[in-house]
């Protein structure tokens, strides 16, 4: 996992950011893995476990290695002795929280292996503990029917041959040996969670993906073999992965499979001395936000150096499990929608039911279409009736007094027909922009499949963003197996720094003003409109800074159907948060 490279962090202590900019019609992975993903899509909720030698000092896993001292950090293995590790206790915590699968950091970026490896001596068998953790967890998981996955860092920071100009082939052989051990020595493994650490994968991503599928044909594999930038891990799926992995924020609605990985603690992926669990209501909202966006949630839980999950975390997670048990019909086996998720409400659907989940229990007005045709509305937790009123394009929900002020309130609608057929309903516009939710296209995008696509620039949410994609004249496949960090000049050069957004208002409309909110520094920006099949410049700006807003009112309104924002000279990950017309 990344310590500092996450694009959008929205403090979990006050609530998770829900990104909802994606056009679901574009969200189709390049290869169909519906059969393999079926159990995972229904499961919805899993436990992430970051654990290793850094817990001896309460430091962040791997990312503290440089500051602590690489050799000193690696020597922690000589003291690692988790004598209180009990796989069954970990599984009980997951079960009581409502989690249906577990993913353990079998090997993080520091290269330390939690299994009996014959190809990597930096492993737990050479510690005072001297027992195979992966074997114990696999045995217990199989015995108890818990789905199991391994987290695996493709690159290792303590191996100098990794991504070496002339010796990388040696590392590739070792790395393949590690994967073979993990995928052949522990029975059925349901999931493989690769991670990206800032440099390209040490081997060709497609060959690694195919190799793992040969060893475990039914395994599901995430998308982090391909990325050359953290933002791609959040968004791009393609043929060498099965689902996207937003990190430390809740992904937006999409038909593409996705899973957000988030923290249950206030600090770090691995346990720290000062970390406390987030309030249960915030953790529950992480679950709700994920399923409401048609995705999954992988929530991290960190044991200490002895292998123990602390009681304050167990108690908090039990409250999450209690809520899920009361509202499980709104979680497992559902799809997101029909209302597109926002920061205050989400929805799920299954068969002839719709579940509206409110972050806070208060009366609410939502967009309405005639497809929202239901017999009854009531609280899912106790069956109490919820009063509703419909007025043109709005439906009003009056929350019963018993639920006023409560968190994560679930309203069940019993529908007259299959809820899955209802078209996705976007939230009301907050800006009044003429471009809101209109058809929009771009010269390139970091992902046309999910997140960071053009729709992020006209969704009325400045926390989302369209980002330019990889250059078409650059052979990015050549960088795998080389140390080319995404912050380096060569890493930055892989991506476009100029491009354009074009929005279609569907008919000629008078535009009096506009607003542009950049997501990066941009040297030159132009607002253009189409007139008699030619583009004309309406306004221009130089040195548009990230964090600023460019707003202009025209001296005379301009009537046009198609409008364009053209940008050039951008910085790393050039993009736009909002392009609004008024």
Q: What is the pLDDT of residues 339-380, one digit of tens each?
A: 999 999 999 999 999 999 999 999 999 999 999 999 999 999
The Cβ-side half-sphere exposure at 3, using a 13 Å CA radius, reads 13
In degrees and rounded to multiples of 5, residue 564 shows phi and psi of: -140, 140
Q: What are phi and psi of 298, to 5 degrees?
A: -115, 100
pLDDT score of 23 more than 50: no
For 421, other C-beta atoms within 10 Å of its C-beta total 10
Q: Rounded to whole angstroms, what are the CA distances from 148 to 5, 187, 194, 349, 545?
A: 27, 10, 14, 27, 46
Residue 14's pLDDT band (cuts 50, 70, 90): very low
The pLDDT tens digits for 425-459 are: 999 999 999 999 999 999 999 887 778 999 999 99
Distance CA(214)–CA(217), nearest Å, equals 6
Distance separating alpha carbons of residues 244 and 7, to the nearest angstrom: 15
Give residue for tokens 């994609």: 469
Q: In the predicted model, what is the mean pLDDT of residues 276-297?
A: 97
Both tokens assigned to 514? 């506009």
What pTM does this model have? 0.93
Domains by residue range for the chain, with CATH: 45-326 (3.20.20.80), 335-421 (2.60.40.1180), 439-581 (2.60.120.260)
User: Where does 255-404 show beta strands of DSSP type E?
Assistant: 259-263, 296-300, 335-336, 345-350, 353-360, 364-367, 374-379, 387-391, 394-398
How much is the average pLDDT of 473-491?
92
Phi first, then psi: what are they for 124, rounded to 5°? Answer: -65, -20
pLDDT tens string 231-253 = 998 888 988 999 999 999 998 88
181: pLDDT strictly greater than 80: yes
Specify the DSSP element, H or E, that contains 313.
helix 311-326
3-state secondary structure of 189: coil
Q: Could you check whether the bond before residue 338 is cis, i.e. omega within 30 degrees of 0?
A: yes
Write the pLDDT tens digit of every residue in 32-53.
Answer: 899 999 999 999 999 999 999 9
CA distance 201 to 213: 17
């Amino acid at each position: 996992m990344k310590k500092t490279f996450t694009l959008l962090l929205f403090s979990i202590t006050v609530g998770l950011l829900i990104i909802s900019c994606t056009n679901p019609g574009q969200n189709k992975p390049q290869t169909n893995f519906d059969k393999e993903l079926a159990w995972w899509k229904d499961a919805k909720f899993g436990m992430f476990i970051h654990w290793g030698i850094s817990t001896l000092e309460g430091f962040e896993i791997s990312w503290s290695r440089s500051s602590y001292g690489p050799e000193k950090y690696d020597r922690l293995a000589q003291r690692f002795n988790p004598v209180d590790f009990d796989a069954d206790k970990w599984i009980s915590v997951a079960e009581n929280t409502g989690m249906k699968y577990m993913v353990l950091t079998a090997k993080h970026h520091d290269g330390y292996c939690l299994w009996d490896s014959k190809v990597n001596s930096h492993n737990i068998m050479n510690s005072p503990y001297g027992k195979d953790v992966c074997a114990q967890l696999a045995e217990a998981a199989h015995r108890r029917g818990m789905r199991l996955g391994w987290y695996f860092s493709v690159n290792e920071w303590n191996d100098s041959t990794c991504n070496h100009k002339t010796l990388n082939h040696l590392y590739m052989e070792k790395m393949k040996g590690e994967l073979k051990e993990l995928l052949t020595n522990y029975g059925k493994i349901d999931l493989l969670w690769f991670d990206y650490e800032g440099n390209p994968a040490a081997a060709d991503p497609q060959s690694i993906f195919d190799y793992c599928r040969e060893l475990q044909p039914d395994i599901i594999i995430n998308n982090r073999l391909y990325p050359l930038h953290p933002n791609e891990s959040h968004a791009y799926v393609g043929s060498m992965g099965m689902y996207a992995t937003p990190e430390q924020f809740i992904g937006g609605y999409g038909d593409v499979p996705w899973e957000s990985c988030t923290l249950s603690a206030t600090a770090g992926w691995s346990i720290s001395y000062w970390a406390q669990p987030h309030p249960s209501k915030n953790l529950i909202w992480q679950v709700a936000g994920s399923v409401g966006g048609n995705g999954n949630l992988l929530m991290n839980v960190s044991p200490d150096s002895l292998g123990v999950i602390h009681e304050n975390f167990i108690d908090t997670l039990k409250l999450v499990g209690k809520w899920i048990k009361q509202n499980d019909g709104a979680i497992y086996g559902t799809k997101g929608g029909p209302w597109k998720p926002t920061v205050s409400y989400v929805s799920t659907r299954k068969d002839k039911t719709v579940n509206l989940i409110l972050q806070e229990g208060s009366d609410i007005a939502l967009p309405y279409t005639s497809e929202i045709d239901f017999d009854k509305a009531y609280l899912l937790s106790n069956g109490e009736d919820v009063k509703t009123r419909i007025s043109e394009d709005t439906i009003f929900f009056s929350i019963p007094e018993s639920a006023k002020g409560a968190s994560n309130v679930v309203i069940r609608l019993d529908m007259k027909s299959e809820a899955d057929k209802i078209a996705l309903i976007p939230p009301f516009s907050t800006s009044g922009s003429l471009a809101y939710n209109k058809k929009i296209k771009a010269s390139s995008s970091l992902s046309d499949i999910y997140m960071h696509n053009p729709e992020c620039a006209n969704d009325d949410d400045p926390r989302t963003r369209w980002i330019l994609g990889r250059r078409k004249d650059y052979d990015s496949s050549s960088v795998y197996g080389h140390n080319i960090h995404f912050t380096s000049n060569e890493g930055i050069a892989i991506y476009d720094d100029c491009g354009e957004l074009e929005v279609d208002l569907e008919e000629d409309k008078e535009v009096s003003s506009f607003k542009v909110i950049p997501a990066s520094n941009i040297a030159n920006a132009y607002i253009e409109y189409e007139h008699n099949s030619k583009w004309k410049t309406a306004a221009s700006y130089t040195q548009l800074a990230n964090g600023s807003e460019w707003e202009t009112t025209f001296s005379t309104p301009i009537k046009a159907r198609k409008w364009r924002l053209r940008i050039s000279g951008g910085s790393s990950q050039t993009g736009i948060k909002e392009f609004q017309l008024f």
